Amino acid sequence: MDLKSIVHVCLAGLSTGMFIWLVASGLTLIFGVLGVLGVLNFAHGSFYMLGAYCCFTVLSRLGDNFWLGLLIGPLCVCVVGYVIERFFLRYVYRIELPYQLLLTFAFVLLFDDLVKIIWGAGSLGSPSVPGLAGSVPILGRNFPTYSLFIIAVGPLVALGLWILIEKTWYGRIIRAASSDREMASAIGVNVPVLFTAVFMFGAWLGAMGGGLAVPYVGLLTPGMGEAIIIDAFVVAVIGGLGSLKGAFLGALIIGLLSSFGTRFIPTFDMFLTFILMAAVLLWRPQGFFGEAV
């Protein structure tokens, strides 16, 4: 095993990790803010899937412009997020967690079938992205340009979220509402509207992950949301539920781990992620940055 291979396995792991991060960030944000009320959103994988399909449809209708698809597709999913929060989730905040999980899981099944009805059960080929289609030589071996792009996008999203949460009025009020809902409304915050907005933003993040995956995964399938949501959940759990910092770190670790796993012990690839999760939970049940329960 030479240095060249290690660098390439690392790069591949980073790009995988950044995809998981994009999905996990929305999941974590929704859990972190609405987490006071305990919303664990199973349907987040559906946002990823819908994001991918919407992006694909928009770009294939509008002259194969990937960037236009990426702009408009996730916004459509935002509308879906609005409907789910405003007309369904809002009514189960106060009841027990299992009911919320059932409700969001129902949406997973619903959206999977909806995608089959609209786009068909088969897979769709995905387009290549102009400008990012080729590959660049790194240490004498080619690496896909698009993967490099993804590796750059992940930290940018992280930075953007950090600025939003820590440095803006919005972030302050989001943090306040997540720490004490009653208090937030007592100081003049319109909490229901805030929750809807955060949920829509989380849905948008998930859908962006899906949209960015369109050129990457090669195939769009109706079950594509489930695969990534499991990774995203693992990442959110080991990072500490509700912690964006933890989700970012977790995504990096899982991405690298699965990349090295695929390369060296392909038979155990699937196990590695869960072994890591079990180990982390034994060592620190609340995850890296989670608050002790």
Partner 1 sequence: MASTLLQIENLNKSFGRVQAAVNINLTLEEGVLTSVIGPNGAGKSTLINMLSGSLPADSGRIVFQGMDITNMPIHRRVRLGLSRSFQVVNVFPEMTVFDNIQLPALAVRNRSRRLFGSLANETAVHREVNEILELIGLSAEAGTTASALSHGDERVLEVGIAMAARPKLLFLDEPTAGMNPLERERVLKNIRRLSEQGRTTFVIVEHDMDIVFSLSQRVIVLHYGEVIGDGTTAEVKSNSRVREVYLGEEVAA
Q: Which is nearer to partner 1, 88 or 170 (CB)?
A: 170
Instruction: Report if residue 189 touches partner 1, rule: CB under 8 A.
Output: yes
Q: Which is nearer to partner 1, 1 or 293 (CB)?
A: 293
* Closest CB 160 distance from partner 1, rounded Å: 11
* Closest CB 175 distance from partner 1, rounded Å: 8
C-alpha 162/C-alpha 168 separation (Å) is 10
For residue 50, the cross-strand partners are none
Instruction: Build a one-symbol-per-residue string for 166-185: x at contacts with partner 1 by CB under 8 A, - elsewhere.
Output: --xxx-xx-xx--xx-xxxx
* Closest CB 171 distance from partner 1, rounded Å: 10
* Closest CB 72 distance from partner 1, rounded Å: 21
The SS3 of residue 144 is strand
Q: Which is nearer to partner 1, 183 or 219 (CB)?
A: 183
C-alpha 199/C-alpha 55 separation (Å) is 20
Sign, CA dihedral 176-179-183-186, equals positive
Binding residues for partner 1 restricted to 191-220, rule: CB under 8 A: 191, 194
Instruction: Build a one-symbol-per-residue string for 150-169: x at contacts with partner 1 by CB under 8 A, - elsewhere.
Output: ------------------xx
Instruction: Report if residue 188 touches partner 1, rule: CB under 8 A.
Output: yes
Q: Which is nearer to partner 1, 127 or 171 (CB)?
A: 171
Position among 5, 128, 142, 190 found at the interface with partner 1 (CB under 8 A): 190
Q: Pull the structure tokens for residue 53.
A: 């399909």
The residue among 64, 20, 77 whose CA lies nearest residue 228 is: 20
In the chain, how long is the greatest CA-to-CA distance? 62
Q: Which is nearer to partner 1, 33 or 150 (CB)?
A: 33
C-alpha 43/C-alpha 27 separation (Å) is 9
Instruction: Report if residue 94 touches partner 1, rule: CB under 8 A.
Output: no
Q: Pull the structure tokens for residue 129.
A: 């992205």
Helices (H), the chain: 3-34, 44-61, 66-87, 97-119, 145-167, 169-179, 181-186, 191-217, 224-239, 244-264, 269-283
* Closest CB 172 distance from partner 1, rounded Å: 6
Size of residue set near partner 1 by CB under 8 A: 20
C-alpha 182/C-alpha 248 separation (Å) is 30
Q: Which is nearer to partner 1, 10 or 37 (CB)?
A: 37
- In the complex, the residues that contact partner 1 under the rule CB under 8 A are 168-170, 172-173, 175-176, 179-180, 182-191, 194
